[in-house]
A and B are shown apart, each in its own frame.
Chain A
Amino acid sequence: MGILLDGVYGLLTAFVLVGVVPLLAALYQFLIIGLHGVRNHYDGVADVAPRCAIVVPAWNEGAVIGATIDRLVSLDYPPGAVRVYVVDDASTDETPDVVKAKMAEYPGMVVHVRREQGGQGKAHTLNAGLEQILAEDYAEAILIIDADVIFERDALRKMARHLADPDVGAVTAYIKEGSTPPNWMNRFIGFEYITAQAAARRSQNVMGAMACLAGGAQLHSRVSLESIGGRIDTSSLAEDTFTTFMTQRNGRRAVFEGNAIVWAEEPADITGLWKQRLRWARGNVQVTKRYRWVWFRRDRDRRLGGFGFGVLWFTIFLMPIFMICASTALVILYFSNFPLSWTLFHVLWITNAIVYLLVTLFSLSIDPQTARRTWFEGFLFPGVVSLAIIIYTCFPAVFTVYVRGGMEAIGLSPSHSFVHVTILFVYVWLAASMLFAWLAKVLEHRGYLGLLSPALIYFGGYGPLLCAITFAAYVAEARHAEMKWDKTEKSGKVAVA
């Protein structure tokens, strides 16, 4: 009986410690970024500027497409070496008129590719442009972007220099959230992009395997794009990730150029973010299934099959499962072996505290410009509740002495049952935070209740919101939900001057 009980406790301990795995993975990911100073691709660059065809998929982008074309033709790039192909996906707004006006304004530099039947998704739209580009001899490199992004003047030049190395098939840039003025959601996304792009993609450079070329800024050499069929995968919702994997599976490198800056307008509310990220997360489920024979198999793929890359991919992919496992095991242990649960709780959250500090402070230091406007959201990324738990586990006296003392001073001495309900709440929080985030999404468009949504995200956390979306992606894929391309609404807020 005792052995059986020990076995059960061991299993529950393992479940709680599963919650530590993504934290350790994040720690590893951030620690290796320091090596990017010596393990980067700068030794392989040269002063080249291949003739570049820029593919801009556009569906009802009348608000932003004109400014986008203006910026693209004025990039700091050799004269005549840039041609913009706007693939108009049967737009019903003023997009065709704007593009035609720009064709007249910049003769020979803008091409209008019109699809009469649209709405099939971004990959189909891109393929219409690629078909025309690859049928012509002009392009030596193809830059795939989004209609709303704004390249800094030297961004393309910085990306293109990597194509001097024939081993490099594709290069991506650092996409930054550029809505002006930013709202609370824009600031969360701004900070997220430091961690997910400026930081994470540098660590992927160090590892030699790239998870995803940003859909809004991916430069391919013509030979690489042709070698993967000259087309973008249309069978999934993550066409950029598939292209990234196919490029690397074909033996070429995908490189992140963190000093090439591209500004983008990202969703301004939870509903918009949910739609966008659900598409991405469902795409990741599809990629995970499609490449199931590659993961952790270095003998099958030297880059994508690496152990470190696999761990990082799956810790993000399975994060909601890890959180639910850890919470559930803690609650079971609360009722069966409290001292063990209390110890494991501390192990989990003290690890969380260390990783939180490293990720937050280092991210802010990587991009001080973005940090100036997103530092508050950066510190509150896990949410006020999680932050309070982190503070409690590291400095318990803040609560056991000061908060408790304050409550007693006003005649609110916490009862025995209050303490236990609080502990149970804290144990459940890892999983419940996702529910909290989902509630924020549900309430967003419910009249005055919608005013609560931002507060719920600040309290519950932006990180748990992303986990909730990943969980929703599992459900959508399990139900074989329709693969619908929900376009992110753009208003041209980035186009400031």
Chain B
Amino acid sequence: MGQDREVRQGRGRVSGGAPAHTDGGGPHGSRRGGVLALLAAIGAVAFVLAARAMRARDARMVAAGHTGRTIAAPPEPAALAARETPTVIAAANTDWDFDAELRKDRRFERSLLYRELAVVAIIVALVVLRIAFVR
């Protein structure tokens, strides 16, 4: 019986809107509305900027005569045929700069931590906002 009452109470809360702890009414309503409006405005601006950037990029690509990335054309067959066959592990003898590439790749990998921290900071800020304004 007690259980029935509990169930009814629970459902009653929901049917009235949302459960009490997520209720949208009360003195926080206007503040929450302001935050939501701000978030919506930020989202709308971000969307418009992203759409414009994509359109501009597409226009640049079309102007350049293609719709994707460019891959360097293969060398002439004659140049390829002139290559020698090494008998041991070859040392670097192309334009590739081993040290510079390694430095670049290491830098990128280290940057992942900062990117991650930035994303975590955004999420923490959102959680704090959620707790502060939506009771």
B: residues with CB less than 8 A from A are 3, 6-7, 9-11, 14-15, 17-19, 22-25, 29, 32-33, 36, 50, 53-54, 57, 66-75, 77, 80-86, 89-96, 98, 101-102, 104-106, 108-113, 115-120, 122-123, 126-127, 130, 134
Contacts and interface: CB of A to CB of B under 8 A. Distances in A.
Contacts of A423: 14
Contact of A73 (B74, B98, B112): B74
19 contacts: A35-B113, A36-B109, A42-B109, A45-B102, A49-B90, A71-B71, A74-B72, A74-B73, A74-B74, A80-B85, A81-B86, A337-B6, A354-B123, A358-B123, A394-B134, A396-B22, A397-B24, A400-B18, A420-B15
B94 A78 contact: yes
A398 interface: yes
Nearest to A335: B7
Interface in A121-158: 140, 150, 152-154, 157-158
A362 B105 contact: no
Interface string A40-78: 101001011111000000000000000000110110111
A335 to B, nearest CB: 8
Contacts of B9: 339
B123 A357 contact: yes
B130 A394 contact: yes
B105 A497 contact: no
A277 B75 CA distance: 37
Contacts of A79: 82-84, 86, 93-94
Interface in A73-99: 73-74, 76-81
Secondary structure at the B interface, as helix, strand, loop or mixed, is helix
A181 B67 contact: yes
B77 A259 contact: no
A248 B50 CA distance: 43
B24 A259 contact: no
Contacts of B10: 337-339, 342
Contact of A496 (B23, B71, B96): B71
A401 B90 contact: no
A180 B68 contact: yes
Interface in A354-400: 354, 357-358, 361-362, 365-366, 372-373, 375, 394-400
A154 B98 CA distance: 10
Contact of A398 (B15, B29, B36, B53): B36
Given A33-B116, A362-B116, 18 more contacts: A5-B3, A34-B116, A40-B109, A49-B91, A51-B86, A71-B71, A74-B80, A109-B83, A181-B67, A258-B109, A338-B14, A354-B127, A358-B123, A366-B112, A372-B53, A375-B50, A397-B32, A497-B70
Nearest to B54: A372
A401 B15 contact: no
